[in-house]
Chain A
Amino acid sequence: MAIEVNGKSIETDEEGYLTNLNDWEKGVAEIMAKEDDLELTDEHWDIITFLREYYEEYQIAPAVRVLTKAVGKKLGKEKGNSKYLYGLFPYGPGKQACRFAGLPKPTGCI
Chain B
Amino acid sequence: MAKAKFDVPELTEYVDVPAIAEGAMAHLSPFVAKPENNTDLGFPGELVDDWHDKTLEKLNDLRKRYRSLQVYLDACVKCGSCTDKCHYFLGTADPKNMPVARQDLLRKVYRRYFTFAGKYFPKLVGAEDLTRETLDEWYSYYHQCSQCRRCSVFCPYGIDTAEISMAAREILDSIGYGQKYCNEIIAKVYKIGNNLGLPKGALADTLEGLEEDVEEETGIAVKFPLDVKGADILLITPSADFFAEPHVDGLIGYGKVLHEAGVSWTLSSYASEAANFGMFIGSYENMRRVSRRIRKVALDLGVKRIVFGECGHAWRVAYSFLNTLAGPFDFLDPDYPVPQHIMEFTWDQIQKGNLNIDKSANDDMTLTFHDSCNVARATRMGDKPGGQIEIPRNVIKAVCNNYVDMHHETIGEKTFCCGGGGGLLTDDLMEIRVKGALPRMTALKNVMEEEGVTHMAAICAICKSQFTKVLPYFGMDMDQIVCVHQLVSNAIILTGQKTEDDAQEGEEAQEAEA
Q: Which residues of A contact B (CB under 8 A)?
A: 14-15, 57-60, 62-66, 69, 82, 90-91, 94-95, 104, 106-110
Contacts and interface: CB of A to CB of B under 8 A. Distances in A.
B428 interface: yes
Given A64-B248, A66-B209, A109 B425 contact: yes
A57 B199 CA distance: 11
A83 to B, nearest CB: 9
Given A58-B201, A64-B248, A65-B245, A108 B427 contact: no
12 contacts: A15-B31, A58-B205, A60-B202, A63-B248, A65-B213, A65-B245, A104-B197, A108-B196, A108-B197, A108-B239, A109-B238, A110-B244
A110 B243 CA distance: 8
Interface stretch (B181-189, B225-233, B300-308, B482-490): B181-189
Contact of A63 (B31, B244, B425, B462): B244
Q: Which residue of B201, B202, B210, B275 has the most chain A CB atoms within 10 A of its CB atom?
A: B202
B90 to A, nearest CB: 24
A90 B196 contact: no
Interface string B204-231: 0110011001000000000000000000
A108 B194 contact: yes
B202 A64 contact: no
A109 B275 contact: yes
Given A64-B248, A65-B213, A110-B240, 4 more contacts: A15-B31, A63-B242, A63-B243, A110-B243
B193 to A, nearest CB: 12
A14 B184 CA distance: 14
A64 B361 CA distance: 24
Interface in B238-285: 238-240, 242-245, 247-248, 275
A95 B240 CA distance: 14
Interface of B: 1-2, 31, 181, 184-185, 188, 194-199, 201-202, 205-206, 209-210, 213, 238-240, 242-245, 247-248, 275, 311, 425, 427-428, 461-462, 465, 479
Secondary structure at the A interface, as helix, strand, loop or mixed, is loop
Contacts of B244: 63-64, 94, 109-110
Nearest to B275: A109
Q: Which residue of A14, A58, A94, A109 has the most chain B CB atoms within 10 A of its CB atom?
A: A109
Q: Which residue of A57, A64, A104, A108 has the most chain B CB atoms within 10 A of its CB atom?
A: A108
Closest 5 A-B residue pairs measured CB to CB?
Answer: A108-B195, A109-B461, A58-B202, A109-B240, A110-B244
B31 A107 contact: no
Contacts of B1: 90
A104 B34 CA distance: 15
B427 A107 contact: no
A94 B196 CA distance: 12
B245 A107 contact: no
A95 B243 contact: no
Contacts of B242: 63
Contacts of A95: 427
Contacts of B210: 65
A108 B199 contact: no
Given A14-B31, A90-B1, A90-B2, A59 B465 contact: no
A23 B194 CA distance: 27
Contacts of A14: 31, 428
Contact of A107 (B184, B199, B205): B184
B209 A69 contact: yes
B245 A66 contact: no
B243 A106 contact: yes
A61 B14 CA distance: 41
A88 to B, nearest CB: 14
Nearest to A108: B195
A1 to B, nearest CB: 12
Nearest to A15: B427
B245 A82 contact: yes
B31 A109 contact: no
A66 B244 CA distance: 10
A58 B243 CA distance: 14
Contacts of A90: 1-2
Nearest to A69: B209
Contacts of A65: 206, 209-210, 213, 245, 248
B196 A58 contact: no
A90 B201 CA distance: 29
Contact of B428 (A15, A57, A63): A15
Nearest to A14: B31
B276 to A, nearest CB: 11
A109 B202 CA distance: 17
A60 B199 contact: yes
Given A60-B196, A60-B197, A108 B206 contact: no
A63 B202 CA distance: 9
B202 A107 contact: no
Contacts of B427: 15, 95
Nearest to A105: B427
B202 to A, nearest CB: 4
A108 B243 contact: yes
A52 B287 CA distance: 34
